[in-house]
């Protein structure tokens, strides 16, 4: 399955400026909708034991629910303390109202 497009979630389950969790082949993935586009990252924060899908999306930024560290959902870049390590991002595509994610080996 790695490197293949895998179904993640229906597009209508993710509201604008929101995030939803999706478990894909045992991976915890967060699916975002921002400015009409879809993005995907690992769901687990790189700082601690928290899931970004429980955080808040502001524009193209996700704020972690535990210590309010921020990541860019387009690039995965860590934007504010206490996070310093980027979050892994994945390609997404929209087809027939469904979001697909391309996982890859790291
Ligand atoms: S666990 Fe995410 S900022 Fe600390």
pLDDT digits (tens, 9 = 90+) for 33-77: 999 999 999 999 999 999 999 999 999 999 999 999 999 999 999
CATH architecture of 5-102: 3-layer Sandwich (2.102)
**How would residue 11 be classed by pLDDT, with cut points 50, 70 and 90?**
very high
Q: Give the DSSP letter string of 38-102.
A: EEEEESB-SSSS-BGGGSEEETTEEE-TTT--EEETTT--EEETT--SPPPEEEEEEETTEEEEE
Domain extent listing, the chain: 5-102
Q: Counting atoms of ligand 1 from 1, which one is nearest the CA of 65?
A: 2
Which among 41, 43, 56, 67 is the best mutation to test ligand 1's pocket, defined by most ligand atoms within 8 Å of the CB? Answer: 67
Q: Quick count: other Cβ atoms within 10 Å of Cβ 42?
A: 19
pLDDT at 3 over 90: no
Q: Are 18 and 99 spatial neighbours (Cβ–Cβ below 8 Å)?
A: no
Of 89, 104, 97, 94, the residue nearest 38 (C-alpha): 94
**45 CB near ligand 1 (under 6 Å):** yes
Average pLDDT over residues 74-99: 97
47 lines ligand 1 (CB under 6 A): yes
Q: How confident is the model at residue 2 (pLDDT cuts 50, 70, 90)?
A: low
pLDDT exceeds cutoff 60 at 87:
yes
Question: Is any atom of ligand 1 closer than 6 Å to the C-beta of 50?
Answer: yes
Q: Report helix, strand or coil for 37.
A: strand
């Amino acid at each position: 399955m790695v490197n293949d497009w895998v179904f993640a979630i229906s597009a209508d389950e993710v509201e604008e400026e929101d995030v939803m969790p999706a478990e894909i082949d045992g991976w915890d993935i967060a699916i975002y909708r921002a400015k009409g586009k879809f993005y995907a990252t690992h769901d687990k924060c790189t700082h601690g034991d928290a899931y970004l899908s429980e955080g808040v999306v502001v524009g193209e930024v996700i704020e972690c629910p535990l210590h309010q560290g921020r990541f860019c959902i387009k690039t995965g870049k860590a934007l504010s303390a206490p996070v310093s390590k980027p979050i892994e991002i994945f390609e997404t595509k929209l087809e027939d109202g469904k979001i697909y994610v391309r996982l890859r080996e790291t």
